[in-house]
Structure formats: C-alpha cells, structure tokens
C-alpha cells in the first residue's frame, strides 16, 4: 500500500530524520495558516497517489500566505490522472546547497533489503544507476543481526562522498533503513534529501510503500496516520463491483472466492486458483474472448460463497454468459463449486445450462460434480480438455449467444 507524501514525511519525522517545515491542508484557509506558520516562501503540492503532478500543474510556489491560499484553492480542485487530491502539502522552500538521494528497497534474489545513496538527488534512481553508477552506493543488510552505522557509512562512501557530508548523512541513512524494517516497508525513499547552507540535512520529499501483508501488525502506525481499514491504496481505487467481490469473500473465513477485478467484456469468469486464474484469463483473451472480470476461487470455499461470487458475476451489467473454470483442484471440491454456481442461476431465475457455457474443474470430488452438472445439462470438461481448449470453447459459445 502506498502512502501520500504528507504521511511519508510524517513517518520520516517519527524516525528522527529532520524534514522541511510545513503540513497538510484540505482547505485554502488551512493552507494560508500553514504558510503563516512557515513565515517565508512555500511550495504547495497536490497530495495524490500518482506521478506527474508537477507537469499537471499540481505543484506551485508561493511568496506569501495569500498566494499559498490561492494556489491551494486551485490545486484542491485539480484532478490528476483521474485522481482527486486528498489535500495539499504546504512546505517551506528550503535553500538547497546540494540534493542527495537516500533509499531502501528489497532485493528479491539476495533476499535482503538494500540501502541506496547518491549525491545526485532530485532525479530517478534508475536514471542515476544507468548514467552515473559511480555516484550510486549500495549495500545489503541483515534481517537477523542488528544494523550498525558502518553499513550506512560504506554505502555513502561508495557514492564518492566524504567529509562533513558523509558523517552527517550516516545517521539519516541508518534511520531510514531502520524505519524500513520496523514499519514493514517495501520502499522507503527520501528524494531529494537536501543539504542546506549550514550543512544540515532535511528530507524535502519522501515516498513510502508498506507491504499489505504487514498491515495487521502495523495497525497502530496506520491508525495514528489516519489510514482507514477500507483504503486499499492500490494502483487504482476499487470499483463498486470489486468491493462487492470483497464482501463475498469476507462472508466466511473458509476458502477464497474473491480477488475480483472488473473488466468491461461480456463473458463473466468464475475461475481459480491463483495460477489457474492467470492462465485462464490469458487463454480467454487469446481466443478473442472479452472477460467481464477476473477472480480467484481456492482453498475450498463453501457453497454459499461460490454462489455469492457467481451471482455477483452473473448480475454484472453486460454479462451474457459465464464460464466456470479452474486448474486441477486438490483441496477445493468440484461438487461444491458446481452446487454454488447452479444455485446462483436458480436463485436468479436463469437456466444454468444456458448461462454457464463451460464448466472445467477437474480434481477432488469430480465424479460427484459431473453427476450434478449432467443433471442440469451443463457442458463440462475433465482434465483431458486443456485449460486453453476449455477457454476457446467458452469464447465460441459466448459468441454464439450474443449473435456476434
């Protein structure tokens, strides 16, 4: 999950890293007050979870509080890449002597976090790595042994930095690495990290992302920052259809029938499991099908849950037919999923054999499942029909139905 810049700066501040003065505002008046407190030129920045806000006019500089309020008024109404701003950050304009970059990310192959530091702040870290590798220091660190200052020192020195800058940057990078680990971040970046005329460092902009899996144990921090439980903070906000999918999945703890993502096609998909859904979604598209949704069934959900998911997909506007398909199941029961989807059709007063163009779930309890499917005249396939063949057949039948 991603944090807004104002939250990221608060996290940085809590870790004992100095930041530029300022604060978060949701009205022009609040922005004016913050600018008064700063008592100097400020920058007003839109708080959105998307890039390119500078280009879109979401960042503006103000000489006095009145100007800050004017900018805030405009930016608060400015939609950037379809994102409405949460508010604005009103920050002092600092006199920067030199911009640095400090970051911590995971290295999935080394299976350790890695600290990064550069004296070329303000630009993208990938760009520095590409064009000026000698200005980028990096170093992995342990998750088992305590962090020690020399590790940050080595990384900063490797970027070609020495003198007072080196000694002042050490505690900052060390604290950033600590907050990365303690707060279960997947990305912790200060860019730029500014060195002021007096030699001190302040974080001007920060970017933080937390691992979703860690949200339960980071509850306290999230509450203090005011992050709601229902805020997914993913690449795009969930749609109503997707939220309804989450509600189905949350209706019981047993199994999964959710992870719904909305698409705009006409073929509803009730598919699973993780890898199976990815494979089947690709397969439907490969054969020219237009999926109305993505979803995942797994871990042996109840009839009620499978029924709930099927109903949701069946009632999605534009959905004409559904296909029920999974890779070979070992703990999910074929007959339970079959009962769930048939029940959904009956409760919606539609003919199961008409609506379900294909049922391909081989595996546990398949004999019981096939008896049931036969009784309702639903076309089904066993493991001798590949996932792609089943998808192709589903697309073909869905096309016939719509007369296209």
Residues at the contact surface with other proteins, assessed by CB under 8 A: 106, 108-109, 111-113, 126, 142-144, 181, 184, 186, 211-214, 216-217, 234-236, 259, 261, 272-279, 281-283, 285-286, 294, 296, 298, 326-331, 362-364, 383-384, 386-389
Cα–Cα distance measured from residue 328 to residue 330, given in angstroms and rounded to the nearest whole number:
7
In the complex, the smallest distance separating the C-beta of residue 301 from other proteins, rounded to whole angstroms, is: 14
Q: Which is nearer to other proteins, 25 or 273 (CB)?
A: 273
In the complex, the smallest distance separating the C-beta of residue 108 from other proteins, rounded to whole angstroms, is: 5
What does the H/E/C string look like for the chain?
Answer: CECCHHHHHHHHHHCCCCECCEEEECCHHHHHHHHHHHCCCEEEEECCCCCCCCCCCCEEEECCHHHHHHHHHHHHCCCECCECCCCEEEEECCCEEEEEEEEEEEECCCCEEEEEEECCCCCCHHHHHHHCHHHEEEEECCCCCCCCHHHHHHHHHHCCCCHHHHHHHHHHHHHHHHHHHHCCEEEEEEEEEEEECCCCEEECCEEEEECHHHCHHHHHHHHHHCCCCCCCCCCCCCCHHHHHHHHHHHCCCCCEEEEEEECCCCEEEEEECHHHHHHHHHHHHHCCCCECEEEEEECCCCHHHHHHHHHHHHCCCCCCEEEEEECCECCCCHHHHHHHHHHHHHHCCCCHHHHEEEEECCECCHHHHHHHHHHCCCCECCCCCCHHHHHHHHHHHHHHHHCC
In the complex, the smallest distance separating the C-beta of residue 46 from other proteins, rounded to whole angstroms, is: 19
In the complex, the smallest distance separating the C-beta of residue 377 from other proteins, rounded to whole angstroms, is: 26
Cα–Cα distance measured from residue 290 to residue 276, given in angstroms and rounded to the nearest whole number:
18
In the complex, the smallest distance separating the C-beta of residue 310 from other proteins, rounded to whole angstroms, is: 20
In the complex, the smallest distance separating the C-beta of residue 113 from other proteins, rounded to whole angstroms, is: 7
Q: Which is nearer to other proteins, 209 or 379 (CB)?
A: 209
Q: How many Cα atoms sit within 13 Å of 315 on the Cβ side?
A: 16
In the complex, the smallest distance separating the C-beta of residue 283 from other proteins, rounded to whole angstroms, is: 7
Q: Which is nearer to other proteins, 7 or 392 (CB)?
A: 392
In the complex, the smallest distance separating the C-beta of residue 247 from other proteins, rounded to whole angstroms, is: 19
Q: Which is nearer to other proteins, 65 or 301 (CB)?
A: 301
Q: Which is nearer to other proteins, 253 or 375 (CB)?
A: 253
Q: Which is nearer to other proteins, 16 or 274 (CB)?
A: 274
In the complex, the smallest distance separating the C-beta of residue 299 from other proteins, rounded to whole angstroms, is: 8
Among 319, 337, 316, smallest CA distance to 255 is for 337
Q: Which is nearer to other proteins, 80 or 345 (CB)?
A: 80
In the complex, the smallest distance separating the C-beta of residue 133 from other proteins, rounded to whole angstroms, is: 17
What does the H/E/C string look like for 194-233?
Answer: EEECCCCEEECCEEEEECHHHCHHHHHHHHHHCCCCCCCC
Q: Which is nearer to other proteins, 89 or 104 (CB)?
A: 104
In the complex, the smallest distance separating the C-beta of residue 29 from other proteins, rounded to whole angstroms, is: 34
Q: Which is nearer to other proteins, 91 or 296 (CB)?
A: 296
Q: Which is nearer to other proteins, 57 or 274 (CB)?
A: 274
Q: ω into residue 28 within 30 of 0, thus cis?
A: no
């Amino acid at each position: 999950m991603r944090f807004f810049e104002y939250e990221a700066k608060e996290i940085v501040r809590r870790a004992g890293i100095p930041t530029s003065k300022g604060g978060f505002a949701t009205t022009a008046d609040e922005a004016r007050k913050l600018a008064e407190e700063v008592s100097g030129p400020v920058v007003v920045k839109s708080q959105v979870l998307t890039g390119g806000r500078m280009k879109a006019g979401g960042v503006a500089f103000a000489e006095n509080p009145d100007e800050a309020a004017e900018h805030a008024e405009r930016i608060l109404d400015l939609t950037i890449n379809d994102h409405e701003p949460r508010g604005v950050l009103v920050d002092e304009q600092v006199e920067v002597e030199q911009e640095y970059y400090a970051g911590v990310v995971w290295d999935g192959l080394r299976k350790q976090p890695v600290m990064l530091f550069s004296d070329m702040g303000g630009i993208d870290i990938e760009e520095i790595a590409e064009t000026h590798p000698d200005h980028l220091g990096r170093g992995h660190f342990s998750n088992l042994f305590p962090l020690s200052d020399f590790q940050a020192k080595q990384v900063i020195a490797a970027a070609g930095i020495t003198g007072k800058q080196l000694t002042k940057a050490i505690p900052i990078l060390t604290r950033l690495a600590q907050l990365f680990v303690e707060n279960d971040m997947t990305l912790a970046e200060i860019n730029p990290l500014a060195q002021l005329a007096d030699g001190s460092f302040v974080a001007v902009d920060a970017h933080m992302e937390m691992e979703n899996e860690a949200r339960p144990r980071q509850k306290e921090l999230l509450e203090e920052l005011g992050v709601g439980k229902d805020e997914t903070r993913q690449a795009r906000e969930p749609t109503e259809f997707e939220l309804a999918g989450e509600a189905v999945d949350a209706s019981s703890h047993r199994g999964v029938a959710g992870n719904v993502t909305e698409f705009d096609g006409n073929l509803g998909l009730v598919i699973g499991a993780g890898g199976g859904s990815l494979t089947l979604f690709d397969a439907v598209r490969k054969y020219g099908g237009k999926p109305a949704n993505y979803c995942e069934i797994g871990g042996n959900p109840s009839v009620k849950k499978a029924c709930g998911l099927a109903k949701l997909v069946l009632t999605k506007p534009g959905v004409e037919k559904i296909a029920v398909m999974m890779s070979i199941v070992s703990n999910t029961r074929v007959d339970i999923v079959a009962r769930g989807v048939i029940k959904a059709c009956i409760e919606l007063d539609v003919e199961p054999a008409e609506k379900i163009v294909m049922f391909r779930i081989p595996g546990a309890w398949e004999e019981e499942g096939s008896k049931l499917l036969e009784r309702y005249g639903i076309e089904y396939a066993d493991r001798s029909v590949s996932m792609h063949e089943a998808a192709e057949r589903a697309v073909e039948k869905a096309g016939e139905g719509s007369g296209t």
